[in-house]
Amino acid sequence: MTVGAFSISLSVKDLAASQTFYEAMGFQVFGGDAGQGYLIMKNGNALIGLFQGMFEGNLLTFNPGWDENANLLPAFDDVRQIQQRLRSQYIPLTSEVDEDGSGPGCFTLVDPDGNSILFDQHV
Q: What is the helix (H) or strand (E) element at residue 86, kind and residue range?
A: helix 79-88
Residues in CB range of 67: below 8 A, 6 or more apart? 4, 5, 73
Domains held by the chain: number:
1
- Beta strands in 53-101, from DSSP E residues, in sequence order: 59-63, 93-95
- CATH number reported for the structural domain that contains residue 76 in this entry: 3.10.180.10
Domain that residue 68 falls in: 5-121
Count how many residues are written for the chain: 123
**What is the per-residue pLDDT across 53-101, written as a single tens digit (0 to 9) for each?**
999 999 999 999 999 999 999 999 999 999 999 999 999 999 999 999 9
**Distance (Å, rounded) from C-alpha 123 to C-alpha 42?**
21
**What is the per-residue pLDDT across 4-62, written as a single tens digit (0 to 9) for each?**
999 999 999 999 999 999 999 999 999 999 999 999 999 999 999 999 999 999 999 99
